[in-house]
Structure 1
Amino acid sequence: MTTRVTLISPAAGDAQREVRFDDDAPLSEAGLRRVRAAAGGLPVADRTAVSPSVRCRRTAGELGLPVESAPELAGCAMGAWRGRTLAEVAEADPAAVSAWLSDPGFAGHGGESLRELCGRVESWLADVAGASGRVLAVVEPDVVRAAAVCALRVPVDAFWRMDVPPLTATELSGRGGRWNLGLGWALGRP
């Protein structure tokens, strides 16, 4: 019984351009144009899932996917840092930013640690592995990174060594909880 999970990163919004901890802002006009141009090239799915953020729901809708939110696929909760730029946080508390980048268990911002995010995504992957077929999920880039960490069974600090561009697909395929990882193809190309 093989399960294929295609994780699609959303189109860009202003938060990415500004290097801002997600504040649930909408897609930028350029992001909307790119997602509309990519629509129609996705494989048929048996199931879909969408991170609850505005940009993931909008991306899914523009791609023609059902837009029912999956809270377990939310991006990492950033607590007091939400909506602030990385530069603002680094200026106010450089030690906290350093801890966040070096300690996967850090949650000093009052949100979720990377270790907690990876655990949540790993639980979701275990659930979807129980049924064969294809799952399409539009998820935040940090969820894609967490899924890759889990699939490869690498240390959580490998999270910081992966880039996930907007509107790319990463595929996990496997059975029995063992995953193969297909990295970031641009939407519109298989």
Structure 2
Amino acid sequence: MTSRVILISPAMNAALREARFDDGCPLEEGGAAQARSAARLLPRAGRALVAPTERCRQTASALGLDAGEAPELAGLDVGRWRGRTLAEVSAAEPEAVALWLADPAAAPHDGESVRELGRRIADWLDEAARFSGRTVAVVEPDVVRAATVRVLGAPEPAFWRIDVAPLSAVEFSGRAGRWNVALGRPLHLAATAESAW
């Protein structure tokens, strides 16, 4: 039995543009329009899921997905840093940010560590491997990073070395606990190609 998981990052919004920890702001109209134009490119899925953030919900809706909310796919809980830009936090708490970026077990924001996120997503991937067919999920970029690190067996600090563009897809396929990764192209750019998949 082969399982396929396609993780799609949300379209552009002000928080992504400003490097601000998510604060629930909606998609920008341009991002929503790109998602609507990419909707026809998505392959059929046995199930569709969405992380519990406004930008993920709006992206899933714009993509035409009838997605069930999946709290286990929530992005990294950054605690008291939520709503602040990385520049603001770095200026106010430079040692805390340096620790957070250097130590995957650190959570100086009183939220969730990168290690804890990785474990949570690894558990979800184990569950997803039991689903025969394709799962499409719209998730935060940090969830895509955590899944990629786990699937590749990369060291935890590699989390910070993975860039995830808005409205892009990564596909994982596997069986018996062994996953492969297919790095995709941005969905809105694939709209002009013959086939995205």
Q: TM-score, normalised by structure 1?
A: 0.97
Tell me what 2:15 maps to: 15
The percentage of counterpart residues that share the same residue type is 58
Note the aligned Cα RMSD (angstroms).
0.9
Partner of 1:56: 56
CA distance in 1, matches of 2:28, 2:103: 32
Instruction: Give, in angstroms, the shift of residue 49 of structure 1.
Output: 1.1
**Structure 1 CA distance for aligned equivalents of residues 184 and 143 of structure 2:** 13
Q: Give the AA of the match of 1:144.
A: V
Q: Deviation of residue 72 (structure 1)?
A: 0.2
Give the 3-state SS of the residue equivalent to 1:121 in structure 2. Answer: helix
Please list, as runs of the form range in 1=range in 2, the aligned pairs for 1:38-187 lying within 5 A after superposition.
38-187=38-187
Q: Could you tell me which amino acid in structure 1 is paired with residue 114 of structure 2? A: L
Give, as a single letter, the amino acid of the residue that structure 1 aligns with 2:106. F
Map of 2:2 onto structure 1: 2
- 2:54 and 2:184 mapped to 1: Cα distance? 22
Separation of aligned partners in 2, 1:181 and 1:67:
23
Distance 2:37 2:133 in 1: 27
In the alignment, residue 183 of structure 2 is paired with which amino acid?
L
Consecutive unaligned residues of structure 1, counting only runs of 5 or more, are none
Structure 1 CA distance for aligned equivalents of residues 119 and 184 of structure 2:
22
Secondary structure (helix, strand or coil) at the match of 2:136 reads strand
Gaps (5+ residues) in structure 2? none
Matched positions, count:
190
User: Which letter maps to 1:77?
Assistant: D
Task: Specify whether residues 159 and 183 from structure 1 end up closer, same or farther in structure 2 by C-alpha distance, changes over 3 A only.
Answer: same
Contact 1:164 1:184 survives alignment (8 Å): no
Letter of the aligned partner of 1:55 in structure 2? R
Q: Secondary structure at the match of 1:169?
A: strand
Confirm or deny: 8 A CA contact 2:47 2:67 kept in the other structure. no
**Alpha-carbon distance in structure 2 between the residues aligned to 1:168 and 1:19:** 17
Q: SS at the partner of 1:185? A: strand
